């Protein structure tokens, strides 16, 4: 089990750039729902969360048969692995560590295709197709936009990979946990005719990771396999009751959009100006940066003296101790980070 | 997936005798913790819930290495099955359905030893030992006090079974989700030297099933196996933050004890007087009853007309459509149930 998920050190107040959560924070509507849920806490949640599932189906314009709810996205990564028990899994790296762990637990052979850092980890279609032909995986795993690189691959660019996988009848697992921020097109259209499963997290965009709420949209056959072995009552009443308030909070969604457009650009321009740091273009709410003359631990420690916490990336396959990941936060926090980072990297 | 976990029909207000939850309801202390937790919801919960685990360790006078937390007891049933992947599982029936499903999911062969209804489902040690000798199970599963029969087996009575299992090196899974109500001795002393895992649910006793919170106390080797494949972040921040308030709420625990002692006895005496009904003695907060001239569905429907909901038991192995299970609730509700049931069974 890795140790991430934010700062858990001894300092009382830290600006935490290590977790990729919407900095606007929890909306009042959701707070109200949670307080009201205290009246329901003495009952079991709906065993399959059907009411919440129907709301998400409407929101996603998908049929409930294409949907499955999760106790956070994490439950669904592990459930997918257990439901498919693939012999060979090919993971496009660097990416979120839990995929590898989930498939290892069910005994899959793990193959990794590492994107080139010289090319800022852009998806290298040729390299992936070569790997598919050689390995003949049962499942291909990738994250889009990708954590921690922030890179997004369009369906058009991905299409040759789908065709290569078609030949071996392989399934595709796509984590779109960060796509809401980007506003870019989902791979959803694939679910009708391809063995595709798409993972979504609601807690990052709506800033409620403590509540645990995710869902998957997928090909019906895959959803059926997952539902057949899913554990009962995995979602708590707070998460289930909040779904409606989350997806209908137009004001929150609008404010998030405005924040994202302004702050992501500001952050990118600011990071670009910092010496001894190479920032990678991102399509979502965080930036992967390479330190040119320092180690990530060294900089993390220096900056923590100023009560700012950043994510080092040595635990990601294909990265090393020179990478850091920075979430985009609100301006008042971002303006504190930039000079600190600049100063730390100057020494 | 079974359909239970309370009434989810169309009636707005129903007195629900189908769920075995402390009727005193959620304590104000816990409500306060949940409202305060709104300030933490924007962070990930501790990945392994160590702070809460330490509190439970103190409460149980157990070392943290003997403990594992669960997103409700349900997570731990499935996690145990996955961690041990036993070839043969022997389940003492009738009992909670999820054990069977959890072991089926991992491909175990399921064997069932059904206790005799003529003997009110008392544990039949000889029958179980015979089954152990014949089947040579890798895991024995039982629930104590047992859901739905309410029967409790003492360690002394169980000891010959432990000895029979010793010969085959089998593990024992004991669900003590309802033991807090009974106040009877736990099987905890076994965990040091036997391959025993004990499941606990905090949400029944503390009336917060919507929050999802359970834990297991077990032999270190088993806990280690489970922790090695446990999914991250399964417990939400509300559940984790509430642990301290729950276990230290002496007033709540005292009130529960007083309610249990009075109401359980009252309910038993009242049920005994009802014609065409045989009530089985119970050591916990619910009663299994056999209807002598009616089917359970028929009586469930009749009583629902009075806005009272009861659990039929046809889905339990070893029971049929003549059994109902009744939770003990507060007097004001119990006094409504008794005459309704009496009247329905008279016709």
pLDDT in tens, A8-52: 888 888 999 999 999 999 999 999 999 999 888 888 888 889 999
Query: What is the pLDDT, as a whole number, of residue A41?
Result: 86
Instruction: Report the gap between the CA of A119 and the closest CA in chain B (Å).
Output: 32
* Cβ contacts of A170 within 8 Å, gap of 6 or more: A132, A136, A137, A138, A139, A140, A195
> What are B104-160's pLDDT values in tens digits?
999 999 999 999 999 999 999 999 999 999 999 999 999 999 999 999 999 999 999
Mean pLDDT for the stretch of residues B259-277:
97
Three-state SS for A1?
coil
CB contact under 8 A, B74 and A40: no
Average pLDDT over chain B, rounded to whole? 95
Of A79, A337, A99, A112, residue with least CA distance to A223: A79
Query: What is the pLDDT, as a whole number, of residue A52?
Result: 95
Q: Quick check: B101 and B132 in contact, CB under 8 A?
A: no
CB contact under 8 A, A42 and B25: yes
Query: What is the pLDDT, as a whole number, of residue B3?
Result: 57
Instruction: Report the gap between the CA of B280 and the closest CA in chain A (Å).
Output: 25
Instruction: Report the gap between the CA of B256 and the closest CA in chain A (Å).
Output: 15
- Does A343 contact chain B (CB < 8 Å)? no
- Does B1 contact chain A (CB < 8 Å)? yes
Instruction: Report the residue of B35, B203, B238, B240 to disrupt the A interface, i.e. the one with the largest count of A CBs within 10 Å.
Output: B238
Q: What confidence tier does A273 reach under pLDDT thresholds 50, 70, 90? A: very high
CB contact under 8 A, A71 and B234: yes
Query: What is the pLDDT, as a whole number, of residue A42?
Result: 84
**DSSP labels, A3-36:** --SS--SS-S--EETTS---TT---HHHHHHHHH
Mean pLDDT for the stretch of residues A240-268:
95
Query: What is the pLDDT, as a whole number, of residue B227?
Result: 96
**DSSP labels, A246-301:** HHT-HHHHHHHHHHHHHHHHHHHHHHHTSTTEEEPP-SSSEEEEEESSS-HHHHHH
CB contact under 8 A, B19 and A75: no
Of B90, B163, B173, B103, residue with least CA distance to B131: B90
| Chain A stretch 33-72, residues whose beta carbon is closer than 8 A to a beta carbon of chain B | 34-35, 37-38, 40-48, 71-72
CB contact under 8 A, A210 and B45: yes
Q: With left for phi above 0 and alpha for psi between -120 and 50, is residue B83 left, alpha or beta?
A: alpha
Instruction: Report the gap between the CA of A333 and the closest CA in chain B (Å).
Output: 16
> What are A179-220's pLDDT values in tens digits?
999 999 999 999 999 999 999 999 899 999 999 999 999 999
Query: What is the pLDDT, as a whole number, of residue A2?
Result: 40
Give the span between the Cα atoms of B213 and A318, in whole angstroms. Answer: 37
| DSSP-assigned beta bridge partners for residue A84 | none
CB contact under 8 A, A6 and B75: no
Tell me the angle at which helices B50-60 and B237-247 cross, rounded to the nearest 10 degrees.
Answer: 20
Query: What is the pLDDT, as a whole number, of residue A45?
Result: 84
**DSSP labels, A332-343:** HHHHHHHHHHHH
Q: Quick check: A242 and A33 in contact, CB under 8 A?
A: yes
- Does A29 contact chain B (CB < 8 Å)? no
Q: Quick check: A144 and A187 in contact, CB under 8 A?
A: yes
HSE-up of residue A272 (Cα within 13 Å, Cβ side): 9
Contacts of A213 in chain B (CB under 8 A): none
Q: What confidence tier does B184 reach under pLDDT thresholds 50, 70, 90? A: very high
Residue with the two structure tokens 């921690």: A148
Q: Quick check: A341 and A299 in contact, CB under 8 A?
A: yes
The secondary element (H helix, E strand) that includes residue B93 is: strand B88-93
Q: What confidence tier does A103 reach under pLDDT thresholds 50, 70, 90? A: very high
With 0-12 / 13-18 / 19 or more C-beta atoms within 10 angstroms meaning exposed / middle / buried, residue B199 is buried
Task: Map A133-174 to HEC letters.
Answer: HHHCCCEEEEECCCCCCCCCCCHHHHHHHHHHHHHHCCEEEE
Query: What is the pLDDT, as a whole number, of residue A158?
Result: 97
Question: Could you tell me the sign of the dihedral formed by the alpha carbons of B245, B183, B185, B284, in that order?
Answer: negative
Counting one residue from chain A and one from chain B, the pairs whose CB atoms sit within 8 A come to 158
> What are B64-108's pLDDT values in tens digits?
999 999 999 999 999 999 999 999 999 999 999 999 999 999 999
pTM of the model: 0.92
Before B148, cis peptide (omega within 30)?
yes
pLDDT at B5 over 80: no
| DSSP-assigned beta bridge partners for residue A198 | A174, A217
Query: What is the pLDDT, as a whole number, of residue B347?
Result: 84
Query: What is the pLDDT, as a whole number, of residue B1?
Result: 36
Question: Could you tell me the sign of the dihedral formed by the alpha carbons of B299, B301, B302, B305, in that order?
Answer: positive
Q: Write the ipTM.
A: 0.88
Q: Indicate the pairing of strand B323-327 with strand B311-312.
A: antiparallel
> What are B275-320's pLDDT values in tens digits?
999 999 999 999 999 999 999 999 999 999 999 999 999 999 999 9
Q: Quick check: A150 and A287 in contact, CB under 8 A?
A: yes
**Residue A106: both structure tokens together:** 């069910």
CB contact under 8 A, A210 and B237: yes
Give the span between the Cα atoms of B328 and B310, in whole angstroms. Answer: 11
> What are B321-345's pLDDT values in tens digits?
999 999 999 999 999 999 999 999 9
* Cβ contacts of B39 within 8 Å, gap of 6 or more: none
Query: What is the pLDDT, as a whole number, of residue A48?
Result: 81
- Does B81 contact chain A (CB < 8 Å)? no
> What are B16-67's pLDDT values in tens digits?
999 999 999 999 999 999 999 988 888 888 888 899 999 999 999 999 999 9
Give the span between the Cα atoms of B303 and B301, in whole angstroms. Answer: 5
CB contact under 8 A, A209 and B42: yes
Q: What confidence tier does B2 reach under pLDDT thresholds 50, 70, 90? A: very low
């Amino acid at each position: 089990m890795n140790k991430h998920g934010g700062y858990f050190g001894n300092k009382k107040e830290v600006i935490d750039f290590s977790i990729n959560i919407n900095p606007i924070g929890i909306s009042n509507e959701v707070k109200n729902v949670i307080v009201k849920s205290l009246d329901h806490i003495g009952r079991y949640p709906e065993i399959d969360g059907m009411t919440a599932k129907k709301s998400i189906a409407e929101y996603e314009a998908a049929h409930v048969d294409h949907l499955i709810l999760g106790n956070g996205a994490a439950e669904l990564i592990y459930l997918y692995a257990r439901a498919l028990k693939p012999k060979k899994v090919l993971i496009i790296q660097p990416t979120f560590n839990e995929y590898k762990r989930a498939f290892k637990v069910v005994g899959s052979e793990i193959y990794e295709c590492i994107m080139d850092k010289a090319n800022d980890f852009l998806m290298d279609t040729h390299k992936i197709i070569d790997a598919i032909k050689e390995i003949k995986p049962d499942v291909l795993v990738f994250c889009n936009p990708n954590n921690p690189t922030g890179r997004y691959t369009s369906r058009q660019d991905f299409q040759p990979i789908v065709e290569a996988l078609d030949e071996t009848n392989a399934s595709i697992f796509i984590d779109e946990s960060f796509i809401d921020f980007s506003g870019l097109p989902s791979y959803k259209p694939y679910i009708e005719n391809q063995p595709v499963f798409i993972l979504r997290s609601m807690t990052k965009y709506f800033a409620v990771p403590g509540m645990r709420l995710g869902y998957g949209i997928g090909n019906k056959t895959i959803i059926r396999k997952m539902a057949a072995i899913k554990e009962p009552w995995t979602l708590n009443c707070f998460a289930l009751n909040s779904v409606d308030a989350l997806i209908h909070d137009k004001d929150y969604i609008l404010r998030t959009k405005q924040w994202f457009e302004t702050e992501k650009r500001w952050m990118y321009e600011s990071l670009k100006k910092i010496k001894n740091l190479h920032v990678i273009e991102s399509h979502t709410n965080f930036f992967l940066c390479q330190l040119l003359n320092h180690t990530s631990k060294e900089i993390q420690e220096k900056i923590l003296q100023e009560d700012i916490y950043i994510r080092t990336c040595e635990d990601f396959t294909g990265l090393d101790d020179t990478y850091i990941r920075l979430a985009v936060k609100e301006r008042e926090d971002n303006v504190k980070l930039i000079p600190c980072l600049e100063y730390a990297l100057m020494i």
